[in-house]
A = this chain, B = another copy of it.
């Protein structure tokens, strides 16, 4: 390999045999360079690795299996695995049926659409998805978001048919968004919602959803359409005058207590995870029976009333492919699709890392997107992976996505056979079930940990939380994304710099703030720049280095120590530099040359391969002198020190 030396002028190498050359990597072909960047950006996981050096027929099989992973893992499927999947599938089915009905109401849709969305999408996912633990279906946060956004456009009580059509349109575009992101390998975009922002957003959404349930739980008839806490509490207290319905409250509160106790039991004893999982179904059965016996619905207890029997009707004709609602459906779909993705991918990753298998985020997105596109054509609304149901699925011992197929089958039977029985289910029960489900989304421990680790993250977390609770889901989301972006911008505009000192009895130079025993070298200022030097920070870095110099010169003067004669810039963390960065360095050099202390010159230590390359391309290495670029700070110091006049 062709390596061009940059440093170690002969003069120095005589007395310093250890001075190494700073490597300049062989110049790469331009196309190769671009290809490398593209690969690292979009194909960081090297998805075609298995296809290499395979015969054509094998490639086809592999490609088919890549799209439908079920044909890969299906071959090793066994009865013992099925036992686990069956139990897990039955458990999540008993959990999902009452939840689905409640979530559909949250989205402003007729109850059966919740069940539809737990029938078709899980089936599609089982064929195409690669997570083994995720449980697919409608989820609380997406239902809330979708409901809020849709109701901004159409009033479901006045125009239910149009509302439903817009919901399908949004679902369709949510699926398109997900497939597009996955197909063009833009999955990393969802990483821009930081963990902290998600924690805050989820907790805010949970509070909002729980507040919405006060309508059902207290039997309030005239309830606000807004989701912020102020409007909701006002609604609640205004309704208090007319008198809340005590029968509803009694039923709702007692079953809520039952559900919470069940949840507590499940949390205390991991083995009893099935207790909270079947508690909702038990509540539904008991309360429905109770209402049917007592005819409490005649005393003001609101019930589900009608729920359509039979499996999903086709809805492909209902999607708006033209007209003003196309654009609105698109906008809502993109937003709901992204949030749904964020939740599903986070769940998928968590369980994949717990069981140690690989999950291709982009492939997951294609699977989730396809399932939503098909869903939108079969009367489903946006489905995704649910946090709580996936955890139950995992604890119930699922092995593969077959548990989703089992769940789907149970939902099918429910739709065909027993939906009429839900007629007398009181709404208060659905409210209690939703409240007990969303409580799990409030993760106070995570918030405390975020506070401990990173204050800025905590601001993002709280911003999202209060944004959702006091304004709306969209505002909360906007705040979360904005704060996350602000953090990135802060990172790229204000990178850190540090003054280095030598650790005693070593050749190692470290930040003197971190290592108080690190000693400054007299007459030399060593500064480390901790970031790539880009247009966004080149000016700041230049001025910051000059400020280090001015401060240090003042300090030195006060203590009558030797004045600063060399400025060594440690470049190890500088992985890249662009044209603005080179300009900044040139300006720094010019400023140093114009100073009173003429000798105070620039020395670079350990620039990386790309930086060396660009210094050469811009001829900057000639401007500062080839013999002023060193492999290590130690080399630079050893070369500078003997030349100095160390009188103060």
Q: Which residues of A line the B interface, CB within 8 A? A: 1, 3, 18, 20, 23-25, 30, 33-34, 37, 40-41, 44-46, 188, 191-196, 349, 353-354, 356, 449-450, 452-457, 484, 487-496, 498, 503, 505-508, 510-511, 513-516, 530-532, 534-537, 539-540, 543-544, 547, 572-573, 575-576, 578-580, 582-583, 587, 590-591, 594-595, 606, 608-609, 612, 614, 617-618, 631-632
- The answer to whether B587 touches A516, judged by C-beta atoms less than 8 angstroms apart, is no
- The answer to whether B44 touches A453, judged by C-beta atoms less than 8 angstroms apart, is no
- The answer to whether B508 touches A631, judged by C-beta atoms less than 8 angstroms apart, is yes
- The answer to whether B45 touches A543, judged by C-beta atoms less than 8 angstroms apart, is yes
Q: Determine the chain B residues whose CB is within 8 A of the CB of A455 once the complex forms.
A: 30, 33-34
Closest 8 CB pairs of A and B: A194-B535, A573-B573, A356-B594, A514-B609, A195-B580, A23-B514, A530-B575, A23-B515
Smallest CB gap from A586: residue in B: B353
- The answer to whether B494 touches A535, judged by C-beta atoms less than 8 angstroms apart, is no
Q: How far is the CB of A341 from chain B (nearest CB, A)?
A: 14
Alpha-carbon separation in the docked complex, A457 to B192 (Å): 23
Smallest CB gap from A617: residue in B: B452
- The answer to whether A506 touches B547, judged by C-beta atoms less than 8 angstroms apart, is no
* Contacts beyond the supplied A3-B516, A24-B514: 14 A-B pairs with Cβ under 8 Å: A20-B508, A188-B493, A192-B489, A194-B534, A194-B579, A353-B590, A354-B590, A452-B617, A457-B579, A491-B532, A496-B576, A514-B612, A530-B573, A531-B532
Q: Determine the chain B residues whose CB is within 8 A of the CB of A513 once the complex forms.
A: 25, 609
Smallest CB gap from A196: residue in B: B579
Q: Determine the chain B residues whose CB is within 8 A of the CB of A453 once the complex forms.
A: 578-579, 582, 614, 617-618
- The answer to whether B594 touches A449, judged by C-beta atoms less than 8 angstroms apart, is no
Q: Determine the chain B residues whose CB is within 8 A of the CB of A580 once the complex forms.
A: 194-196
Smallest CB gap from A516: residue in B: B1
- The answer to whether A45 touches B506, judged by C-beta atoms less than 8 angstroms apart, is no
- The answer to whether B449 touches A535, judged by C-beta atoms less than 8 angstroms apart, is no
Smallest CB gap from A575: residue in B: B530
Q: Determine the chain B residues whose CB is within 8 A of the CB of A349 once the complex forms.
A: 539, 587
Smallest CB gap from A504: residue in B: B20
Q: How far is the CB of A162 from chain B (nearest CB, A)?
A: 32
Cβ-defined partner of A44 (8 Å) among B494, B508, B591: B494
Alpha-carbon separation in the docked complex, A515 to B579 (Å): 25
Most chain B beta-carbon neighbours within 10 Å: one of A3, A188, A514, A539: A514
Alpha-carbon separation in the docked complex, A15 to B498 (Å): 32
- The answer to whether A44 touches B579, judged by C-beta atoms less than 8 angstroms apart, is no
Given contact pairs A20-B503, A536-B192, A591-B353, A578 touches B457 in the complex (Cβ within 8 A):
yes
Q: Determine the chain B residues whose CB is within 8 A of the CB of A632 once the complex forms.
A: 508
Alpha-carbon separation in the docked complex, A362 to B282 (Å): 66
- The answer to whether B41 touches A490, judged by C-beta atoms less than 8 angstroms apart, is yes
Q: Determine the chain B residues whose CB is within 8 A of the CB of A539 once the complex forms.
A: 191, 349
Q: How far is the CB of A358 from chain B (nearest CB, A)?
A: 9
Q: How far is the CB of A617 from chain B (nearest CB, A)?
A: 4
Q: Determine the chain B residues whose CB is within 8 A of the CB of A33 once the complex forms.
A: 455
Alpha-carbon separation in the docked complex, A578 to B451 (Å): 11
Smallest CB gap from A544: residue in B: B44
Cβ-defined partner of A195 (8 Å) among B493, B516, B579, B631: B579
Q: Determine the chain B residues whose CB is within 8 A of the CB of A594 once the complex forms.
A: 356
Given contact pairs A490-B41, A530-B575, A535 touches B195 in the complex (Cβ within 8 A):
yes
Alpha-carbon separation in the docked complex, A353 to B591 (Å): 7
Given contact pairs A539-B191, A591-B356, A579 touches B450 in the complex (Cβ within 8 A):
yes
- The answer to whether B491 touches A191, judged by C-beta atoms less than 8 angstroms apart, is no
- The answer to whether B3 touches A45, judged by C-beta atoms less than 8 angstroms apart, is no
Q: How far is the CB of A592 from chain B (nearest CB, A)?
A: 10
Alpha-carbon separation in the docked complex, A40 to B547 (Å): 12
Smallest CB gap from A578: residue in B: B454
Cβ-defined partner of A614 (8 Å) among B45, B454, B544, B590: B454
- The answer to whether B575 touches A572, judged by C-beta atoms less than 8 angstroms apart, is no
Given contact pairs A506-B18, A573-B573, A492 touches B493 in the complex (Cβ within 8 A):
no
Alpha-carbon separation in the docked complex, A160 to B128 (Å): 63
Smallest CB gap from A580: residue in B: B195
List 15 A-B pairs, Cβ < 8 Å.
Answer: A18-B506, A23-B516, A44-B543, A45-B543, A46-B547, A191-B540, A193-B535, A194-B534, A194-B535, A450-B579, A452-B618, A454-B614, A491-B492, A496-B576, A531-B532
- The answer to whether B516 touches A578, judged by C-beta atoms less than 8 angstroms apart, is no
Alpha-carbon separation in the docked complex, A186 to B532 (Å): 22
Alpha-carbon separation in the docked complex, A518 to B356 (Å): 33
Q: Determine the chain B residues whose CB is within 8 A of the CB of A454 once the complex forms.
A: 578-579, 614
Alpha-carbon separation in the docked complex, A381 to B504 (Å): 63
Q: How far is the CB of A1 from chain B (nearest CB, A)?
A: 5
Q: Determine the chain B residues whose CB is within 8 A of the CB of A540 once the complex forms.
A: 44, 188, 191
Cβ-defined partner of A40 (8 Å) among B20, B494, B514: B494
Alpha-carbon separation in the docked complex, A484 to B534 (Å): 10
Given contact pairs A457-B578, A573-B573, A618-B452, A18 touches B534 in the complex (Cβ within 8 A):
no
Alpha-carbon separation in the docked complex, A537 to B484 (Å): 13
Smallest CB gap from A542: residue in B: B353
Q: How far is the CB of A275 from chain B (nearest CB, A)?
A: 28
Q: Determine the chain B residues whose CB is within 8 A of the CB of A530 once the complex forms.
A: 573, 575, 608
Cβ-defined partner of A18 (8 Å) among B37, B192, B353, B505: B505
Alpha-carbon separation in the docked complex, A609 to B617 (Å): 35
Q: Determine the chain B residues whose CB is within 8 A of the CB of A493 once the complex forms.
A: 41, 188, 191
Q: How far is the CB of A242 from chain B (nearest CB, A)?
A: 44
- The answer to whether A534 touches B46, judged by C-beta atoms less than 8 angstroms apart, is no
Q: Determine the chain B residues whose CB is within 8 A of the CB of A511 once the complex forms.
A: 23, 608-609
Q: Determine the chain B residues whose CB is within 8 A of the CB of A487 once the complex forms.
A: 534, 578
- The answer to whether B583 touches A195, judged by C-beta atoms less than 8 angstroms apart, is yes
Alpha-carbon separation in the docked complex, A535 to B190 (Å): 10
Q: Determine the chain B residues whose CB is within 8 A of the CB of A354 once the complex forms.
A: 590
